[in-house]
């Protein structure tokens, strides 16, 4: 399906709402019935009709059709956060006594779920370096039911060979989940490599304006229906109609924003790579990236997130650099209009900063929609302050 068709037309039924270009926000909690039998059918299968907006809602449906098509998936659910999408996807595929193989350092709240919540229900996790397929083979146990991937990782951009992992998992009857937040479906479609469930934080590029928190989970109709009937309805963490409408609006400009951000990022990467105060730059489409070949094989592009290691003599130099930035904001997340930075040392007690550990000198930069020269000047003046 053509991306322009998906973004501009799919799921939209304008004749039913006064030929309005923008779809209505059906801000209702419930829907009325004229016939008892229709209500009975809705109770029997809430995925078949509008009953109550914790389940289906027409504005959310328009969004779901578009997002599933972008992922090249049969169906999808949209949650009120990416973390909720992760929680539902994992919970739906484990039971007491099961084992999960996860890539090292997945998104923080996935990790917290694996470490703090699942052990209470007798589900164990083994973390592996996912850059090597043999590590998956070695980690799989007879009770492994799930493999959890994040490719690329959102800090060091480590990739997994999605096709190889999917083949291995299928042969062992193991479900695969991939966090695709870095790429969005425009730059990577894990379902096409045989991954069962793909999720993304729609808070990032899909929303695109740093004003909505949301998450997408796509997969087969059967799997999505099963998750809707249980975890989605029970946790009650579906997206609200207004936020769904904001995401539809965000989708309209997604290709244009990604194109601009990707081009600006290349310029910023080149600037950082030649800067005397930068030790190295980590970016999946950079010629020095160790998994560049795999990146090019399975990704159509790399967007605005990159990390760099600063040549600092102490933690204060890194702090001064960040605090001297005039336009690039120090904040979590990414994917919005505004450029952002996070120093890795902000998640450490200052007393445990270790200069010899290059990770402690790492900064993650998100390149937004500003003019790249404006951002480069900001970075330069901040380096000049250190």
Please list, in sequence order, all residues whose beta carbon lies within 8 angstroms of the beta carbon of residue 56, skipping any fewer than 6 positions away. Answer: 46, 47, 49, 50
Please list, in sequence order, all residues whose beta carbon lies within 8 angstroms of the beta carbon of residue 14, skipping any fewer than 6 positions away. Answer: 20, 21
Q: By beta-carbon distance, which residue lies closest to ligand PLP?
A: 82
Closer residue to ligand PLP (CB): 215 or 241: 215
Whole-number Å distance between alpha carbons of 303 and 263: 8
Binding to ligand PLP, residues 97-136 (CB under 6 A): 107
Closer residue to ligand PLP (CB): 81 or 317: 81
Please list, in sequence order, all residues whose beta carbon lies within 8 angstroms of the beta carbon of residue 349, skipping any fewer than 6 positions away. Answer: none
Using CB under 6 A as the criterion, what x/- string covers residues 137-156 for binding ligand PLP?
Answer: -------------x---x--
User: Among residues 181, 298, 307, 339, which is the contact residue for ligand PLP, using CB under 6 A?
Assistant: 181
Closer residue to ligand PLP (CB): 204 or 361: 204
- Minimum CB distance to ligand PLP, residue 283 (Å): 16
Whole-number Å distance between alpha carbons of 107 and 147: 15
Using CB under 6 A as the criterion, what x/- string covers residues 204-243 for binding ligand PLP?
Answer: ---------x-x----------------------------
Closer residue to ligand PLP (CB): 177 or 382: 177
Using CB under 6 A as the criterion, what x/- string covers residues 62-91 for binding ligand PLP?
Answer: -------------------xxx--------
CA 56 to chain centre: 23
Structure tokens at 66: 């578009």
User: Among residues 102, 151, 160, 201, which is the contact residue for ligand PLP, using CB under 6 A?
Assistant: 201
Structure tokens at 191: 């379902």
The dihedral through the CA atoms of 226, 197, 342, 245 has a sign that is negative
Whole-number Å distance between alpha carbons of 30 and 251: 27
- Minimum CB distance to ligand PLP, residue 79 (Å): 8
Give the Å distances, CA to CA, from 110 to 89, 96, 114, 170, 243. 11, 18, 6, 23, 23
- Minimum CB distance to ligand PLP, residue 179 (Å): 5
User: Among residues 71, 161, 179, 196, which is the contact residue for ligand PLP, using CB under 6 A?
Assistant: 179
Question: Vertex 283, ends 278 and 288: CA angle to 5°?
Answer: 75
Binding of residue 250 to ligand PLP (CB under 6 A):
no
Which residues of this chain interact with ligand PLP, rule CB under 6 A? 81-83, 107, 150, 154, 179, 181, 201, 203, 213, 215, 333
């Amino acid at each position: 399906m053509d991306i322009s068709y998906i973004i501009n037309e799919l799921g939209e039924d304008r004749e039913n709402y006064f030929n309005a270009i923008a779809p209505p926000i059906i801000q209702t909690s419930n829907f009325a019935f004229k016939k008892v039998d229709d209500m009975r059918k809705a109770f029997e299968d809430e995925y078949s009709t509008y009953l109550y907006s914790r389940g289906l809602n027409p504005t959310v449906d328009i969004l779901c059709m578009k997002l599933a098509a972008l992922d090249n998936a049969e169906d999808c659910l949209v949650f009120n956060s990416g973390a909720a999408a992760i929680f539902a996807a994992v919970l739906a595929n484990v039971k007491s006594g099961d084992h999960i193989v996860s890539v090292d350092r997945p998104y923080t709240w996935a990790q917290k779920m694996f470490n703090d919540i699942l052990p209470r229900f007798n589900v164990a996790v083994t973390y592996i370096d996912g850059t090597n397929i043999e590590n998956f083979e070695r980690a799989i146990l007879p009770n492994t039911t799930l493999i959890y991937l994040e490719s690329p990782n959102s800090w060091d951009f480590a990739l997994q060979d999605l096709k190889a992992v999917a083949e291995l998992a299928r042969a062992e009857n193991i479900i695969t989940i991939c966090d695709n937040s870095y790429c969005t479906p425009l730059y990577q479609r894990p379902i096409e490599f045989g991954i069962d469930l793909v999720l993304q934080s729609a808070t990032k590029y899909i929303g695109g304006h740093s004003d909505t928190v949301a998450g997408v989970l796509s997969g087969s109709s059967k799997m999505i229906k099963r998750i809707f009937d249980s975890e989605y309805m029970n946790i009650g963490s579906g997206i609200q109609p207004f936020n769904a409408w904001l995401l539809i609006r965000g989708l309209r400009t997604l290709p244009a924003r990604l194109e601009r951000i990707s081009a600006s990022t290349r310029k910023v990467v080149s600037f950082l790579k030649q800067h005397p105060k930068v030790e190295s730059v980590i970016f999946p489409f950079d010629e020095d990236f160790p998994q560049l070949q795999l990146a090019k094989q399975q990704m159509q592009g790399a967007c605005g997130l990159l990390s760099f290691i600063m040549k600092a003599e102490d933690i204060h130099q890194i702090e001064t650099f960040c605090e001297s930035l005039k336009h690039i904001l120090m904040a979590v997340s990414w994917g919005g209009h505004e450029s952002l930075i996070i120093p890795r040392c902000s998640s450490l007690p200052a007393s445990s900063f270790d200069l010899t550990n290059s990770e402690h000198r790492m900064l993650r930069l998100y390149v937004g929609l500003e003019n790249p020269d404006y951002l480069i000047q900001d970075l330069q003046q901040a380096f000049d302050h250190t």
